[in-house]
Structure 1
Amino acid sequence: MTRTHTTLSAAHHQRPFTGEAGRWEKERTRALRTGHLCEGTCSAARRLVLVHERTSWGWLAWAVPGDGTSPELPAQIGVLVPGATRTPRLAVRWLLRRPAHRIALAPASRASLRFSTTAVAAITLVAAPYALSRGIPVGLVMPAMLLAPLLTEHAPDRLDDRAGGHVRSVDGNAACCYLQRLAALQTYLVGAAAGSDRYELRRSAEIGHNVLWDAADLLHAHAQDTREVSAQLIGLERLMVRLADQAAQALEHIRATAASG
């Protein structure tokens, strides 16, 4: 690996919210209060309190350690489809929303309902007699009374499935460790392009996003087994390193030109 790769890996995403002093403590406190859990969506079905760090290309989900320290490896990394329009970006916002509060059906049972489902069911129990008293046919009131709680309970899961088509996410330790390195390079490319109007820098950031997506898609398709696709992953990382080196050289040239001018 080149010097540029080593430097950038140390600069970005080795800790949550790099360069934003105090942000981790603020987000950690909020996450512990709201309890954003990773349950079932992670490969080991772990129950983790997560803090999501949003980026232009996706997100990093950091698990809150019990000892109050800052984590070094994301619990999950998600990559947004390249060239995303408004709809995919809204999909990311939906996927990273606050977790639904659930109410257990019985003390010893794992079955539960969303709090919103029970609230809608209670509202329909009150609204149904009123609607019948106003002359609305039973054939309309009763189906609506039954369907409203069902839609409230199951519609979010359907929306999760549709929103998931716009992203690729991984949560295995080996897969996250690999994507973490690529994410650091992509963040550098995005920062270099944001501070310049040079086409080659913008193009490098676009290509880098595609490389990051290809890596996440490859890991997703092979059950996050980095050994099975190691050759392809090495090729993608080498391409990303070349892009970062070229961007660094372009920035040095720009600075030298500005200084001489």
Structure 2
Amino acid sequence: MTDTLHTPPHTAGAHHQRPFTRDPGRWDKESSRALHTGHVRDSPCSAACQPVLVHERTSWGWLTWTVPGDGTLPEVPQQIAVLIPDATLAQRLTLRWLTRNPARRIALHTVPGSLRFSTAAFALISLVVGLLAMRHGVPVDVALPAMLLAPLLTEHLLDRLDARASEHVRTVEGDDAVRYLQRLATLHTHLVQSAADCDRHELRRTAELGHSLLWDAVGLLQNHDTRSASVSLIGRERLMLQLVSQVTQIVELAAAEDDAADADQTWERGRPLGRTCRAPLRRHPAPRPAHHR
């Protein structure tokens, strides 16, 4: 028998099966905003135009969705990125930087390529400042190189910031790799939300382990295809499924303990006692990867 990389679709809810699963209205808002910066897929445009992308940021990384031209919801992300585990605050800020709105660019007709709008604006500012400096006695051989170097340094600095930020993130593209990681991300999101809903050390620890499994899986998918890395990927998916099963049991036990405590003492200081943990809305048997003979 050969294991396949398949997870039952009902496992741990439907997170990441569609964009912004927990906030459907967010997709309409983000896609409408993104339409102002590009061309939708399947719409007529030149070969140089890029599809409209919407980034769905999470606590562990992001999913990049392509806006379809027919108004439907996409099913598979174009890209999934995972932030390094145990990231510092500065490293977490890279999520914001790398998923910022795409830079507006100006086509250069005299030479191939394009220039960022911000770089062009800075070049104009440096030109004005340079002319004013020369008018006030700054030598031309000093002001002119500064005027020329300033926009080039700006472009180089932004590229360096992008490269430095990318060191803390692993990304995958391609349908097979993205579909697998999408399933794994669905399971991990269940761990993250359970840890957020129930303040217990063991739940926080499972979320950390899930993040590490995601990070390792992306590393495998960056260097191998899903077929050649199938054994290692299946092993990681099984571990993630075990974590989901353990978390479900912990949350249900904690919810039962809260119910028993509430039955003994319903009110404290005139207010209802807050629940430490919330039981899952839907309970499913522990899922397992499918098998094919």
| TM-score normalised according to structure 1 size | 0.89
Distance across 2 between alignment mates of 1:142 and 1:59: 43
Query: Of the two, which has the highest radius of gyration?
Result: 2
RCO higher in structure (CA 8 A, sep ≥6) = 2
Q: Which residue of 2 aligns with 1:176?
A: 178
The structural deviation recorded for 1:257 is 1.9
Alpha-carbon contact 2:40-2:67 (below 8 Å) kept: no
RMSD of the TM alignment (CA)? 2.3
The one-letter amino acid paired with 2:238 is R
Partner AA of 2:133 in structure 1 = A
**Which sits farther off after the overlay, 121-130 or 233-242?**
121-130
Partner of 1:250: 250
- Is 2:43 the counterpart of 1:34? no
Give the AA of the match of 2:210: G
Matches within 5 A, 1:205-244: 205-222=207-224, 225-244=225-244
* Contact in 2 for aligned 1:37/1:99 (Cα 8 Å): no
**Cα shift readout 1:96-115 (whole Å, capped 9, x = no counterpart):** 111111111129x7521112
The 1:76/1:37 distance shift into structure 2, 3 A limit, reads farther
Question: Hey, which of these two has a bigger chunk of helix by percent?
Answer: 1
Equivalent of 2:202 in 196, 200, 215: 200
Number of matched pairs: 250
Give the secondary structure class of the aligned counterpart of 1:79: strand
Q: CA deviation at 1:13?
A: 0.6
AA aligned to 2:252 is: E
Deviates more, 1:113-122 or 1:199-208: 113-122
| 2:153 counterpart letter in structure 1 | L
Distance in 1 of aligned mates of 2:72 and 2:91: 33
Instruction: State the partner residue of 2:264.
Output: none
- 1:53 is matched with which residue: 38, 51, 56? 56
Task: Give the gaps of 5 or more residues in structure 2.
Answer: 42-47, 262-293
- SS of the aligned residue for 2:86 comes to coil
SS in structure 2 of the partner of residue 106 of structure 1: coil
How far did residue 240 of structure 1 move? 0.5
Corresponding residue to 1:78 among 78, 81, 86: 81
Give CA-to-partner distance per residue, 1:57-95, whole Å, 9 cap, x none. 000111100100001111110000000111211212111
CA distance in 2: counterparts of 1:30 and 1:65, whole angstroms: 14
Q: 1:92 to 1:16 in 2, by over 3 A?
A: same
5+ residue gaps, structure 1: 39-44
Quote the Cα distance in structure 1 between the aligned partners of 2:18 and 2:131. Answer: 56
* TM-score scaled by length of structure 2: 0.79
Query: How far, CA to CA, are the matches of 1:143 and 1:124 in structure 2?
Result: 11
**Structure 1, residues 116-174: CA drift from partner, whole Å, max 9, x if none?**
22222222222212101222233432221111110122221121111110000111111
Identity of aligned pairs, percent? Answer: 58
